[in-house]
Chains A and B, each alone.
Chain A
């Protein structure tokens, strides 16, 4: 069995889950594609999952109301063992890459991290992944009765519904009490499309100038063209924008169809988070900014003048 741990927001599957289904189906691994849905009150998610998977395991339990690395690792390990999974696929989100290594240790399985391609031939599993701050693409290989993989978001095409309804089974999990107590939460809500799911992203860097300019220029353009909003480390550190919008080595990794960088210089750490975007568009007043080296389209100019003109022009249609 191929066990995929569904990523969802409590009501809906994340795009990453559909990507993992594709990764599983195209891998050549044998056995039914099985989605494990963990959480509390997740019946709608399980129903949606049934459209994509051969079978759905539903762990709808009060102990799963809140994500915790040790709880998730224990639950996934139990299901992998009971179902004799050959391949366990976990999302390459921050949380996924936090508990997946624990699952690998518990299962005594090799772990292929952040795969952008995946193929299985019997017990041998091969993956491609980026290394050296995404400057190198390596092919890695492991062999085992079970192999644990995380799939890099945005690397596989989202699966389409199969047209049949996968069988759903309720499962009980024996999970430990969490030892890490969450004493406070700052969750940034946005009405815009999630960064890792956006086709187009408008990102602002320090060159934007201020919090106010960020709202006018970056958010203004994003809302006009229906894009997600990103920010550089410098902008987040300056307190202009929330961490959830950060793109780069210490933030999110994105690969949208179009990445529009406004006043972004293009430090290596930033490039490692967005350098795989299909089209990169840069507007910066510094013609020497490294971002132009990776740009498909570039304008050397003042964002304060060009972006308002761009918003105006985009309105006219």
Chain B
């Protein structure tokens, strides 16, 4: 079985995001491999290491040049090969899934791993949309995964609580924190990764166009009161807070 694992390079969670004009400008912002995707890369490697019949692990990234770094990270972690569809076009997840499905078919992938939510567009749609295009089942927000013959089993989060599952392969699985602890690439592996194949494709090869336009972007920060109450005397502090919540904010009775 071949595993296709999707990665993207996104602003660091702690980084400041700024705008230029009416769109987000990442120039100068620290970018890293999307943490949610990184769990997918790690899981692919662990499945192979645990003895699952994994022939090859291929990482795919779609987006501007910076995404090459996410692919380099994946290669250094142990992925065999990488494909970068380099484009400045902003593709919504449902449009992007068309491309991912084409790659999955061309590669005869049997399992696709992708982060549960993108840290740039805050979208959860790519896994499900890709599964639909391929006619595969999907498991979202997975925190345990095993391959058992031609099926996967594990556990994933649902609206309230979590469920254990069993589903036939091929399938799409979305990954999240808690699934595993991603490894740090070692120096020898970083060196080795430089020799691994990183293929560059163009968006035109896939004939995919965005269906959603971004009209504008703004950074809205809610003005906060920042009223600090001295906590030295717990009784006094508690009484004052309660008074403010009841009579100023009027949020409790």
In the bound complex, CA of A301 to CA of B224 (Å): 20
B241 to A140, Cβ gap below 8 A? no
Contact of A310 among B11, B224, B225, B238 (CB under 8 A): B238
B182 within 8 A of A: no
In the bound complex, CA of A317 to CA of B243 (Å): 12
Select the stretch in A24-32, A45-53, A78-86, A176-184 that faces chain B: A176-184
B residues within 8 A CB of A54?
Answer: none
CB distance from A112 to the nearest CB of B (A): 7
A131 to B242, Cβ gap below 8 A? no
A298 to B227, Cβ gap below 8 A? yes
A113 to B14, Cβ gap below 8 A? no
A residues within 8 A CB of B128?
Answer: 69, 97-102
B165 within 8 A of A: yes
B106 within 8 A of A: no
Say yes or no: A101-B229 contact (C-beta < 8 A), given A69-B138, A310-B238.
no
A residues within 8 A CB of B97?
Answer: 101, 105
B47 within 8 A of A: no
B124 within 8 A of A: yes
B residues within 8 A CB of A258?
Answer: 245, 249, 251-252
B212 within 8 A of A: yes
B residues within 8 A CB of A225?
Answer: 252-253
Say yes or no: A306-B237 contact (C-beta < 8 A), given A131-B122, A132-B119, A135-B17.
yes
Number of A residues contacting the other chain (C-beta, 8 Å)?
A: 89
In the bound complex, CA of A301 to CA of B153 (Å): 46
Binding site secondary structure of chain B: mixed
CB distance from A154 to the nearest CB of B (A): 14
B residues within 8 A CB of A94?
Answer: 140-141, 157-159
A61 within 8 A of B: no
Among B225, B231, B235, chain A packs the most CB atoms within 10 A around the CB of B231
A95 to B215, Cβ gap below 8 A? no
Number of B residues contacting the other chain (C-beta, 8 Å)?
A: 80
Say yes or no: A95-B159 contact (C-beta < 8 A), given A104-B94, A181-B166, A295-B226.
yes
A169 within 8 A of B: no
CB distance from A79 to the nearest CB of B (A): 17
A residues within 8 A CB of B218?
Answer: 136-138
A175 within 8 A of B: no
A206 within 8 A of B: no
Among A98, A131, A138, chain B packs the most CB atoms within 10 A around the CB of A98
A141 to B244, Cβ gap below 8 A? no
A281 to B241, Cβ gap below 8 A? yes
B119 to A133, Cβ gap below 8 A? yes
B160 to A132, Cβ gap below 8 A? no
Say yes or no: A114-B122 contact (C-beta < 8 A), given A94-B159, A292-B226.
yes
CB distance from B30 to the nearest CB of A (A): 13
In the bound complex, CA of A228 to CA of B16 (Å): 31
A residues within 8 A CB of B249?
Answer: 258, 279, 296-297
> Can you offer 10 A-B residue contacts whose CB atoms are under 8 A?
A179-B168, A180-B138, A181-B166, A200-B252, A275-B222, A281-B241, A292-B226, A300-B228, A306-B231, A306-B238
Question: Which 10 A-B pairs have CB atoms at the shortest separation, nearest pair first?
Answer: A301-B231, A184-B164, A309-B238, A258-B251, A110-B211, A101-B129, A101-B125, A296-B225, A101-B128, A102-B132
Residues of A within 8 A of B (CB): 69-70, 73, 93-95, 97-102, 104-106, 110-114, 126, 129-142, 144, 179-188, 199-200, 225-226, 233, 237, 242-244, 249-250, 257-258, 267-269, 275-276, 278-281, 283, 292-302, 305-306, 308-310, 312-314, 317
Given pairs A94-B141, A135-B17, 15 additional interface contacts (CB within 8 A): A73-B132, A112-B212, A131-B121, A132-B120, A136-B17, A182-B164, A188-B161, A200-B251, A200-B252, A244-B160, A293-B226, A299-B231, A310-B238, A312-B238, A313-B239
